[in-house]
Amino acid sequence: MTAATAGMILGSFTTPMRIGTSPASMLWLLPLVAVIAVVYKATKVHKIRLKPFAKESAVLFGSIIVFIGVAALILYGLTWFVTGQLPALLDSSAF
Amino acid sequence: MTGSWKDNHALFLIVIGALAWLAPGGGHFALQEKKRGIIIFVLIALTFAVGLYVGSIGVVNPVSAKPWYVAQVMNSPAVFLLGSYMTAAHQRAEARNDLSLAYPVYGRAGEVGQIYTSIAGLLNLLCIVNAIYMAHIQVVGEEESPK
């Protein structure tokens, strides 16, 4: 590896990437959840054997994603109610 | 005799904890848990590196993002070096009135970088505690096993 290549690689750590605020940017969640699931399971299982370890990590990964999805749906519903429905209800109220 | 055993036991746990902090997975590696150590090292180092790549080294910011920095330091004491470099960069930027010298971080990339590096640190904290616990269990097991 030349000094120029090494410099280029190190230099790429000094400027942030361009990531938009589109819904697709939420996909950055997936690798992080995978790391959390695998590292957590690595500290929990008695003995590390490939198949059971991969299965347990996958189950934890799925559980976290499902839980985040449910939390997101509840928060979305709450926001929809507070910003969309509640003002209309208050306007038509007798008070 | 009991006192010296306790002292050695405590020292052993401290050394394992220090190894686990020095390099992610180092504590487990020292306890002959090589698979565990390698998994922890690769994943935590990779997560930290991805965080730095996405958000730039500016996400390690002991000046204006202290709570995140505390979590990032859990990765390894080497983060202190990066932190002191960033503090010096901030001071240079203030002295010359040029913010670009302080590796500014903003937007979604800054958030992702900060979250990745900090979560990597917190995961390593979990692994440090786990390595100390495993060391304790090993010592207690050796003490109680029939000779």
Q: What is the pLDDT along chain A (95 residues), one digit of tens a residue?
A: 688 888 888 888 888 888 888 888 899 999 999 999 999 999 999 999 999 999 999 999 999 999 999 999 999 999 999 998 888 888 876 55
Interface residue A58 vs chain B (CB under 8 A): no
Q: How many CB pairs under 8 A join A and B?
A: 75
Contact B119 A39 (CB under 8 A): no
Mean pLDDT, rounded, of chain B:
89
Which residue of chain A comes nearest to B110, CA vs CA?
A16
Distance set, CA B78 to CA B16, B115, B139 (Å): 17, 18, 30
Q: In whole angstroms, give the CA distance from residue B35 to residue B32.
A: 9
In chain A, what residues touch B79 (CB-CB under 8 Å)? Answer: none
d(CA B2, CA A78): 60
* Res. B1 pLDDT band, cuts 50 70 90: very low
CA distance B25 to B32: 11
ipTM of the complex: 0.88
Q: Nearest to residue B104, comparing CAs of B147, B56, B69, B145?
A: B56
Q: Any chain B CB within 8 A of the CB of A31? A: yes
Give the pLDDT confidence of B12-66 residue by residue, as tens digits.
Answer: 999 999 999 999 999 999 999 999 999 999 999 999 999 999 999 999 989 888 9
Q: Which residues in B lie closer than 8 A to residue A28 (C-beta atoms)?
A: 54, 112
Residue B146 in this model has a pLDDT that exceeds 50: yes
User: B5: pLDDT confidence band, cut at 50, 70 and 90?
Assistant: low
Query: Any idea how long chain A is?
Result: 95
Spell out the residues 6+ positions from residue A92 whose beta carbon is closer than 8 angstroms to its own: none
